[in-house]
Amino acid sequence: MADAAPILVVTSGPDDAASGLTPDTSPLPLTPAWDADGVAAALPDTEIVFLWTMRSPAFDALRNVWPEAKHLRWVHSCSAGVERLLFPELVESEVVLTNSRGVYDLPMAEYGLALMLAAAKGLPETLARQREHDWRFRYTETLAGKRLVVVGPGSIGRTVARHAAALGMRASAVGRTARTSDPDFDAVASRDALPQALAEADYVVITVPLTDDSRGMIDREAIAAMKPTARLINLARGAVVDEPALIEALREGRIAGAGLDVFAEEPLDPSSPLWDMPNVVVSPHISGDTDTSEQDVVDLFLDNLRRWLAGEPLRNVVDKRLGFVTGS
């Protein structure tokens, strides 16, 4: 049972309150902080840290002031990906780390589906011709019958597959271990079989968490295995993909296109050739963010806080050595 120590809420600035998290909704006091000094001042008396935004300068300051975390017992992240939090001091500690797994499943699945539909129906070309008042007939493609390969069959990847199945797509996946029986995929291949799996894909959707194992996994060899008609969609982290190799393949027409919501460096450099490629959709890391996602994150945290105070198991406990939530 936690006592009445305040919850440290890491925000992006003094005007960035966690929507829905107020003294009226929280059973414990709230202490906001948005820079390293604020975190350092509040941390010694804190048992719980709620990382409300990844865009805060204080997000990465937590490691620098970790020696002050004498009473810290639980950290909750607003994001599903927690790679920025997996510094050795936290990993080796007894501090529980939870994330916002589940909040982004549907928004990211819808976004991935939108990118696939945009590619199949040629929407970027349609919009470009509209701006030029150019009325020109052409054929488009259908998603029905196409092979979708999801790299990372977690909760987000599974939601992508379920929605794609509603449009008649056939879904398989690449995960940590191979299996032939799965409720959402025709089959799940192991990481060792990644090139062979990608060779069958019409669309590749990346939803794998960023870990030491997944960093750079979509490398030159993996991209070379894809069909010239295939398209790659990255909703995970930019570092999962070898970006120079992808740019080269797109330039040379060795794959048909890409929908990219994440990049090796963010914001994407204005000089990047990805901005101007006609077969690429660039978006600013927004696939999981909707008009309800902030409240959903707060609702998840408040439910976990109730569990914490009641001594019940928390939702979304991250395996800090693997870097993600395991189990269903």
Active site residue 285: yes
Per the CB < 8 A criterion, the answer to whether 61 and 67 are in contact is no
Q: 240-246 long-range CB contacts below 8 Å, 24 or more apart?
A: 240/151, 240/206, 240/208, 240/210, 240/214, 240/215, 240/216, 241/206, 241/216, 242/216, 242/218, 245/219, 245/220, 246/218
Q: CA nearest 287: which of 111, 157, 163, 115?
A: 111
Active site residue 179: no
| Intra-chain end-to-end CA distance of the chain, in Å | 26
Active site residue 266: yes
Q: What share of the chain is helix, strand, coil (3-state, %, to 5)?
A: 35, 15, 50
Q: Which of 266, 307, 315, 321 is catalytic?
A: 266
Q: Which of 101, 158, 231, 237 is catalytic?
A: 237
Q: Which of 285, 294, 315, 321 is catalytic?
A: 285
Catalytic residue IDs? 237, 266, 285
